[in-house]
Structure 1
Amino acid sequence: MLDRGLRIVGALGLAAAAVALGAAAPQKPAAKPLPGRSVTNGNWNTVVRRTADDTYILGNPDAKVRLTEFISYTCPHCAHFETEADAPLRLAFVANGKGSIEVRSFVRDPIDMTVALLTHCGPPEKFFLNHTAFLRSQAKWIAPLKDASAAQKARWSSGSFAARTRAIADDFHFYPIMATRGYTAQQVDKCLTDEALANRLAKATEDAAQRLFVRGTPSFAIDGVVLSGTSDWASLRPQLAARVD
């Protein structure tokens, strides 16, 4: 549940002040040039941009439709959505330039936060492959949670920020996952110390909950409007098709 997830984030020392409920609804950002990026064979899946809000956008910045995904890495439904929807979205929505995908982290717990830091590790063009790697392998890496000892769990919520995130990364074998993505242990450790980013992601989660009324994951928005009652590919697909066609 949402309230529980936000309390766990607070235990990490990451929760930020709540954003005022009366804040203006987000607007689709104006297109910006993408220096050094070009479209290969008309496929917009080669274009990735990191926004000032620590989200990542895949595809044509001038796309007719912007899909926003609110994702938690410890959410099994998010992993299922990734497996089911990634290929059709890339092939029929992003590749032709008609649609773009924005991924926003909606942090539920300390493990989720640690994974979020690792997906952000490195240049923007690595994000979506990092994102996919963790969601597609979620069932495997999250398995140690059910057998975790009290001492392990204590390490996840006590000590310095870096000590906590590194303990989680060690216990859930995130270092080998990142190694398959080309990262050294030193690079991983550096990303796990980014407490400023963690604070921003926690604040963005609070903001999405209070201002946009996001209540669970996965949740979706089209052109800034959160879709009520939409939490899977079966319910999202016809809504996207109606706007793109």
Structure 2
Amino acid sequence: MTTKFRGRKLAARIGSALAALALVGTGAAALAQNWGATIVESDNGHRIGNPKAKTKLVEFMSYTCSHCADFAREGDAAIKLGYLPKGDVSYEIRHLLRDPFDLTAALLTHCGDPKKFAGNHNAIMLSQDAWFEKGRKTTRAQQARWQFGSNGARRQAIASDLGFYELMENRGYSRAELDRCLTDEAKANALAEASQADVEKYGLQGTPSFVMNGTLLDGVHNWAALRPVLDKRR
């Protein structure tokens, strides 16, 4: 009887140990889920992170906005590394289109697999000073190409003169792929319409602007102002 009793106790201990290991494994799997690597395309941008996050942050930005470039340097990485991985915050980048340069850049960031968006976005946003300078040095003949011809041809001229082709080719795109994206009139119209709809819906007046859980954050236009608001919601 003693031998059988000890056998049952040993079996129970083994069962408990296996159950504990299973729980550890489940926890490890949860920790291994890095939501910062999850990205899906929306109608006017891309959402990064857990779609069921309790805090849903949306940034409305413009590629020709210097303050947006500042935020990309100061806040973008901080959000992706410090807030998204655990899944309690999601971060959506949406476009507020101010001019043909914005639309050209937005079409290029949307080009190809949605998983490429974050890299495309950073490549254009963080090199803003360089392509601004190229824009300042363009000739009148170059600038005339931005205003005549089909919409697609105008965007191709802008992409060429500001160095966007070279920038994106360095990211692995072919000229043919980029031309397809730049001349995608349906996509261009969809982005423009969604941008205008966002302006009207939220009363957006500048960039960057932020909406959290459906509410526009009044007076919040940089990382220093956004960070404490995010921290309160965690």
When the two structures are superposed, what TM-score results if normalisation uses the length of structure 1? 0.81
Determine which structure has more spread, i.e. the larger CA radius of gyration: 2
Q: What does 1:1-245 align with in structure 2 at a 5 Å threshold?
A: 41-51=32-42, 53-244=43-234
Q: What is the aligned-residue RMSD (CA, Å)?
A: 1.5
> How far did residue 203 of structure 1 move?
1.3
- For residues 39 and 201 of structure 1, do their structure 2 counterparts lie closer, same or farther at Cα, with a shift above 3 Å needed? farther
Q: Secondary structure at the match of 2:32?
A: coil
> How far did residue 39 of structure 1 move?
7.9
Q: Aligned partners of 1:40, 1:242: CA distance in 2, in Å?
A: 23
**Kept in 2: contact 1:39–1:46 (CA 8 A):** no
- For residues 39 and 203 of structure 1, do their structure 2 counterparts lie closer, same or farther at Cα, with a shift above 3 Å needed? farther
**Kept in 1: contact 2:60–2:209 (CA 8 A):** yes
More helix by share: 2
**5+ unaligned residues in a row in structure 1: which ranges?**
1-37
- For residues 118 and 40 of structure 1, do their structure 2 counterparts lie closer, same or farther at Cα, with a shift above 3 Å needed? farther
Paired residue for 2:20? none
**Kept in 1: contact 2:146–2:155 (CA 8 A):** yes
Q: Secondary structure at the match of 2:188?
A: helix
> How far did residue 40 of structure 1 move?
8.0
Give structure 1 regions of 4+ aligned residues with deviation exceeding 4 angstroms: none
**Kept in 1: contact 2:44–2:195 (CA 8 A):** no
Q: Aligned partners of 1:124, 1:99: CA distance in 2, in Å?
A: 19
- For residues 104 and 39 of structure 1, do their structure 2 counterparts lie closer, same or farther at Cα, with a shift above 3 Å needed? farther
**Kept in 2: contact 1:114–1:192 (CA 8 A):** yes
Q: Secondary structure at the match of 1:157?
A: coil
> How far did residue 196 of structure 1 move?
1.1
When the two structures are superposed, what TM-score results if normalisation uses the length of structure 2? 0.84
Q: Secondary structure at the match of 1:94?
A: coil
CA deviations 1:57-77 (Å, max 9, x no partner) are: 101111110110001011111
Q: Aligned partners of 1:82, 1:224: CA distance in 2, in Å?
A: 22
- For residues 39 and 101 of structure 1, do their structure 2 counterparts lie closer, same or farther at Cα, with a shift above 3 Å needed? farther
- Aligned residue pairs: how many? 206
**Kept in 1: contact 2:50–2:88 (CA 8 A):** yes
Q: Which deviates further from its counterpart, 80-89 or 205-214? A: 205-214
Which structure has more relative contact order (CA 8 Å, sep 6+)? It is: 1
Q: Aligned partners of 1:138, 1:175: CA distance in 2, in Å?
A: 14
- For residues 43 and 170 of structure 1, do their structure 2 counterparts lie closer, same or farther at Cα, with a shift above 3 Å needed? same
**5+ unaligned residues in a row in structure 2: which ranges?**
1-28
> How far did residue 188 of structure 1 move?
0.6
- For residues 136 and 87 of structure 1, do their structure 2 counterparts lie closer, same or farther at Cα, with a shift above 3 Å needed? same
